[in-house]
Amino acid sequence: MLATLAVLASLTIITMMSPGPDMLLIIKYAMARSRLPALACVAGICVGLSVHISLSIFGVAALIAASTTLFTLIKVVGALYLIYLGIKSFSASAQTLVPNSQSLQVAQPSLMNAFRAGMLCNMLNPKATLFILAVFTQLVEVETSVLDKIAYGAFILTLVLVVWGLFAMLIRTGPVLNLLQKYQLVIDKLVGGFLVLIGAGLIAEDTLLSD
């Protein structure tokens, strides 16, 4: 079991550190005037991931992946949601002057919006579905009990919570945060542009595969 946990940890961290929608959203919300939106986004990501884990444990994810129509539908909906988030971030223009400061900041996002963005971004991400499905089909034995599978899932969730939480807090450190907030509007537009590109790429990929 320890060997399996070590492999799970390695694969999970490597996958997380690859630039993707989750990382971009955390960076976006970490630039707020408090750390809470970023942490709410991390919590939402974990809730979304728990859905993938639950579906994999009980075999539903395999059925979804096997159904071309259903998997494509989830993929397209997820891609459209990324494009929506990207456009929303890219076009953000609401600015508020911070008291006793000469700099402008984007208005403080609500915790619910940050949580919902993280949850839906992860839950509708087809690559997250395939990653968790691969973990539970390649690393976990068929005869493994449901309780052990739940333990593996809890381990992945804990690791994601800790790593993304630390990542969010790292961004909140003085020098990094000051630099990000200085160019906050520009970074918001870059994040928005990347989210749109990722979403468009998913749709284009699906279109090419269907031809």
Three-state DSSP at 188 gives: helix
**What is the Cβ-side half-sphere exposure of residue 94, based on CA atoms within 13 angstroms?**
5
CA quadruple 113, 115, 116, 118: dihedral positive or negative? positive
Instruction: For the chain, give the number of residues.
Output: 211
- What is the value of pTM for the model shown? 0.81
Q: State the pLDDT at residue 144.
A: 76
Which pair of structure tokens corresponds to residue 130?
């395939």
Residue 72 lies in a domain: yes
Whether residue 178 lies inside any domain: the answer is: yes
Report the candidate in 45, 56, 26 with the shortest Cα–Cα distance to residue 132: 56
**Total count of domains within the chain:** 1
Instruction: Flag whether 141 is in a domain.
Output: yes
Tell me, yes or no, whether 43 lies in a domain: no
List the chain residues with pLDDT less than 50. 93-106
Q: What is the pLDDT of residue 157?
A: 94
pLDDT value of position 209: 56
| 40 belongs to a structural domain | no
Give the pLDDT confidence of 123-148 residue by residue, as tens digits: 888 888 888 888 877 777 767 788 88
25 occurs within a structural domain: no
Per-residue model confidence (pLDDT) at position 105 = 47
Question: Which residues partner with 96 through β-bridges?
Answer: 105
Identify the DSSP state of 136: I
Which residues constitute the domain of residue 183? 50-109+125-210
Residue type, 197: L
Among 102, 97, 119, smallest CA distance to 29 is for: 119
In a domain, 85, yes or no: yes
Radius of gyration for the chain, computed over Cα atoms and rounded to the nearest angstrom: 18
Kindly state whether residue 20 falls inside one of the protein's structural domains: no
